[in-house]
Structure 1
Amino acid sequence: MSGNSHSTGRLDGKIALVTGGASGIGRATVERFLREGAKVAITDIEQDKGEKLASKLADEGFEVFYQSLDVVNPDEWQKVVDAVVARWGRLDILVNSAGIGRAKGLLDMSYDFWRQTIAINLDGTFLGTQAAVSSMKDTGGGAIVNISSVLGFVGLPNISAYAASKGGVRLFTKAAAIECAEKGYNVRVNSVHPGYIETPMVMRRFDKIVESEREAEETRLKQSHPLGRLGKPEEIASMILYLASDEAAFVTGAEFVADGGYLAR
């Protein structure tokens, strides 16, 4: 298992569900949660990858299972949450990590492109939060961590759909957190805003660049972060772990940035 193998048991006895859990930040989070004592349901639209990961982790002795989930399908969300509760009795933690990131100029963007980006990144977060809160409020509460982006704070050319979706996640998180608190649900809701991280979604941006220009583009992207490098999925998983744990019991409606200084300029 990748990353730091040391466990402090920070999630002992917790039941977690991670979307987009077969790769990138989602996978790093799944692995970190398991090491910290949680039982984890992995969901991802990539069934083969998700099943292989769950099988590998189960063989290592962890309590884990995979279930396919299209995050824009309300019925599938209900089935997944029901499956977690049927298996382990409740749901304590939801990490909404599934998402897509694509670039398209404002005048070149089709409405379908816009809608798909908003649907997966924002609608999927809403549906997951709604399904999780509905369950958590009756079983003692829980913690929800929504993965946004530094581009939920600032814009760049050609990513208006992505920025809109991630900005929406940022403010949806705050509104949901306040509502859960005021209604006494005992559910905390926070957002994490990574900079550019070494994940398949980010690294795919280089696939369309000719080899002679690739190194320069990678250097430019790294230098946009004052620390001079891209982040690692495990570094984001560490922040998610804090927010999911009881250490963050007084933290809700907050935004946590892990961006190598990207937004500090």
Structure 2
Amino acid sequence: MSQFEGKAALVTGAGSGIGRATSLALAADGAYVWVTDFDKASADRTVEMIVGQGGRAVSVKLDVSVEKDWQTAFGRIDSGEEALSILVNCAGKSILADSFTMPLEELRRVMAINVEGAFLGMKHAIPRIAKSGGGAVINISSIMGLKGKARMAAYCASKGAVRMMTKAIALECADLKNNVRVNSVHPGVVDTPAWAKHDADEAGMMLGSSGKQASATLDVHAVAKALVPIGVAASAEEIAATVCFLASDVARHITGAEIVIDGGMTAD
């Protein structure tokens, strides 16, 4: 029997990258997956991939920064057969910008998606997970929630907030004895399509004096070669495997923890 058989999972930002890989991995191990994303078409594609591999899933359009969207999504989930046991807050927004010229609205948008989105997910999911008998929440943070990076103040602030919010809510769940574990995962450089959204100027901001690249968009392999001690980027599937471990009963004694997957970037 697959370890997530009879359980439902909700994954945000599941239309690509780590969210898609996590949805596929959970479904492959028996979970019924609610695949959510702001881009419904990309969420639909993830569902097609899951169904094509024999899994079960449904897509839902969700702007994680809008509470009404969460309420609508959970209205559908409550009518499903499988009880919600797993929440993966994966939706996120990154920004590379000069902090002293960046519009305030850019900061607010990053915080709305990365911090408020994770909070709203936990606010609405954790009581349901507890009612189902318990389970796990995994918040995708970043190593930028553990260390600073020039011109990434907004992103660092948001991911640091996710890290500490995870710990606080993990302790709140422990105090309630509701059998819900809450942990954060902190990837470093991961090979996902998100890197292509950054242009050459932003590449210079990221690489600084550590390396150069000639392409018009930010090349994840150039970044990994310049910044990751082991010299390679992680795959989205590697991050998803850790998420599945944290969601499983094998990790029943792990809560309030931060799991770093960064090829040594925070080792010094």
Report the TM-score when normalising by structure 1.
0.91
CA distance in 2, matches of 1:220, 1:194: 14
> 1:214: which partner in 2?
215
CA deviations on 1:113-133 (whole Å, 9 max, x unpaired) are 010000100010000011101
Q: Which blocks of at least 5 consecutive residues in structure 1 are unaligned? A: 1-7
- The answer to whether the Cα contact below 8 Å between 1:196 and 1:202 also exists between their aligned partners in 2 is no
- Matched residue count: 258
Match for 1:186: what amino acid?
A: N
CA deviations on 1:202-260 (whole Å, 9 max, x unpaired) are 34335656996239975354231111011110010011010001111111000000001
> 2:64: which partner in 1?
71
> 2:33: which partner in 1?
40
- The answer to whether the Cα contact below 8 Å between 1:223 and 1:229 also exists between their aligned partners in 2 is no
CA deviations on 1:132-168 (whole Å, 9 max, x unpaired) are 0121222212200000000000011110000000000
CA RMSD of aligned residues (A): 2.0
Q: Which blocks of at least 5 consecutive residues in structure 2 are unaligned? A: 205-211
- The answer to whether the Cα contact below 8 Å between 1:9 and 1:36 also exists between their aligned partners in 2 is yes
> 1:125: which partner in 2?
118
CA distance in 2, matches of 1:136, 1:100: 26
Q: Which of residues 9, 13, 38 in structure 2 aligns to 1:16?
A: 9
CA distance in 1, matches of 2:49, 2:247: 24
The 3-state SS of whatever aligns with 1:188 is strand
1:46-85 matched pairs, under 5 angstroms: 46-85=39-78
Change (3 A) 1:219 1:53: closer
1:236 equivalent in alignment to 2:253: no
CA distance in 2, matches of 1:198, 1:242: 20
Deviating above 4 A after TM superposition, structure 1's stretches of 4 or more consecutive aligned residues are 206-212, 215-218
Q: Which of residues 156, 166, 180 in structure 1 aligns to 2:159?
A: 166
- The answer to whether the Cα contact below 8 Å between 1:174 and 1:254 also exists between their aligned partners in 2 is yes
Change (3 A) 1:154 1:57: same
CA distance in 1, matches of 2:131, 2:6: 18
- The answer to whether the Cα contact below 8 Å between 1:148 and 1:192 also exists between their aligned partners in 2 is yes
1:73-222 matched pairs, under 5 angstroms: 73-206=66-199, 213-214=214-215, 218-222=221-225
